[in-house]
Every structure is written in structure tokens, then in C-alpha cells.
Structure 1
Amino acid sequence: MKPHGTLGFEIRELSILIGRFIEKEELGTDLAKLKGPQAWALGFLSENLDREIYQKDLEKELSIRKPTASRLVDRMEKNGFITTVVSAKDKRFKRIIITEKALENMKKVEKFVTNLEDRLTQNIPEEELRSFIDTIGKLKKNIQS
């Protein structure tokens, strides 16, 4: 079996190329710590300032398992991007709160993500992109079943 041309291989290769693009871009001292899931998690947190967010919400949003989410939360807290406080509703859970430091840097993150998206989607018609996103959604649904 030749791996090139198979769906799984092509998705993996694209993921690697995106990772390399992210690594070579200069984000500044604080933002350089925002590799992969940390940036996505902060984006999710900044879009949901009006609700209480817990680790289980990050697990669901980022499609990650509990141990991965736990390490992610620990790393983000260590880097000063979030704080955690015991929930007033349920003492077993810790609420995740984005810090001012993270909020101040979100414009840089958003600019970076926009640049990445522009780079990824250049020369691809809007209709093809919509179809691709729909197809990716179906692929994810198939693999989760």
C-alpha cells in the first residue's frame, strides 16, 4: 500500500506542515509558548467570557482526552494565561478563567491565525472551502461513531 494519496496520510502531512509553519513564525516571548492547543483553548475561553468554563468543556471543544486536557490546563496556568478557582456550584470542579495577560495578547494570536488561514486558503474558491469543511465534518463524525 502506498501511503501518499490516502486520506489519513494526506491529513497527517497537512497537520505536520501547519505545525512547521507555526513553529517558524515569530510570535514574541509570551506567545511563543502558545503552541497548538494552548492558542485554540485561549480562543475558546476568550469567546466564552460570559460562561463558566471547566476542563471538561476544553476536552469536548478540542477533542482531547482528560489527561491531555489536564496537562494543557497545568501548562496554561504555569505560563500565566489562565487561573483556576473552585466552582461555587460544585466544589469538585475548577473553573478556568482567562487572565488579563492572555486577553492582551489575543489580538496577536488572532492576527496570527488570520495569517495562517489566509495562507492555507489562498487560491481556493469559497465554494471549495465550504465543501471541504463540510466533508471534514462528515469524516470526524464517521470516525467518532
Structure 2
Amino acid sequence: MISLTRSAARYVSKLSNKLRRKLDMLSSRKEFSGSQGRTLHFLLAQTEDVFQKDIEEEYSIRPSTATELLKQMEKNGLIIREPVPYDNRLKRIVVTEKALVYQEQVVNELTALEETLTRDIPEEKLQIFFEVIEKMMDNLSE
């Protein structure tokens, strides 16, 4: 029988909820949501063209969720979607000048959050954590 107090799914869910609340409380979130900030951070770190499919894969979200997220980011003036010359069906995601204004703030906030999250956890235990989480994600993909 699965223990309700030591359930992996319960703990992952609790961590996810706490992390989402922290993301939504960051100071830059007056302008956009935590999900948009995370996505903006991802976009700003890329050196190649980024497409909706890349966002779906990075955050393991459904196409409809990614569409709504990107629509909101476009509405907030953080991104534009433009066709690529080699395939009119594909639209690359481009950050706007407005988004670039937030770059340093978003990077600093997410770096600080990561440092808080992993504080006092030895590197070898973090490596084990990542291995376990990746295996759990693989298990759920089967």
C-alpha cells in the first residue's frame, strides 16, 4: 500500500505548487505571469530560432496551453511571432524590445530562486535528485 505521507507524487505536487506561488510573487510579475517570465527566460537564453514546439517540449505542456501562453505574451508585448522564409507554416518566436528591458531582472530573479531552492543541498545529492526526477518523467512518458 502507498503511504499518503511519503508519496512521491504528493511531494512533487507540493513542490510544484510552492514553486509556482514563488514564481508568481517575483517583482517582475506585475507586468506578466510567472509562466510568461519562465518562458521569457528560456527565450532570452536561446541562440537559435525558437518555435512553439520548443516551448511545448521545454515545459512539457500541451500545444493548446503553449498557444494560450504565447498569445498572452504577444498581447503583453513581450514577443512577436513571425513566419520563417523557408516554411510559411512555421512561426518563430522573437522577443521584443519591451522583453529585453526585463532580461536582467528575470535572470536575476530566477537565479535567486534557484539558489534559494537548492540552498544547503550538496551537489552530489542534487545530481541524484535530477537522475530520480528524469527517471520519473521517463516512467510517465511510457
Same fold (TM over 0.5): yes
- Other-structure match for 1:65: 62
Instruction: Give % identity.
Output: 35
Matched, 1:20 2:27: no
- Of 81, 85, 92, which residue of structure 2 is paired with 1:84? 81
Q: How much has 1:19 moved relative to structure 2? A: 2.0
Letter in 1 for 2:21: R
Q: How much has 1:55 moved relative to structure 2? A: 1.0
- Other-structure match for 1:98: 95
- Other-structure match for 2:42: 44
Distance 2:48 2:124 in 1: 34
Distance 1:16 1:2 in 2: 20
**Which TM-score applies when normalising by structure 1?**
0.88
Deviates further, 21-30 or 103-112: 21-30
3-state SS of paired residue (2:5): coil
**Which TM-score applies when normalising by structure 2?**
0.89
Task: Check the 8 A contact 2:83/2:89 in 1, yes or no.
Answer: yes
Q: How much has 1:2 moved relative to structure 2? A: 4.8
Please report the RMSD computed on the Cα atoms of aligned residues, expressed in angstroms: 1.6
Distance 1:23 1:122 in 2: 20
- Other-structure match for 2:131: 134
3-state SS of paired residue (2:133): helix
Task: Report the count of equivalent residues.
Answer: 141
Q: How much has 1:101 moved relative to structure 2? A: 1.4
Q: How much has 1:97 moved relative to structure 2? A: 0.5
User: Structure 1 residues 2 and 17, CA, compared in 2 at 3 Å: closer, same or farther?
Assistant: same
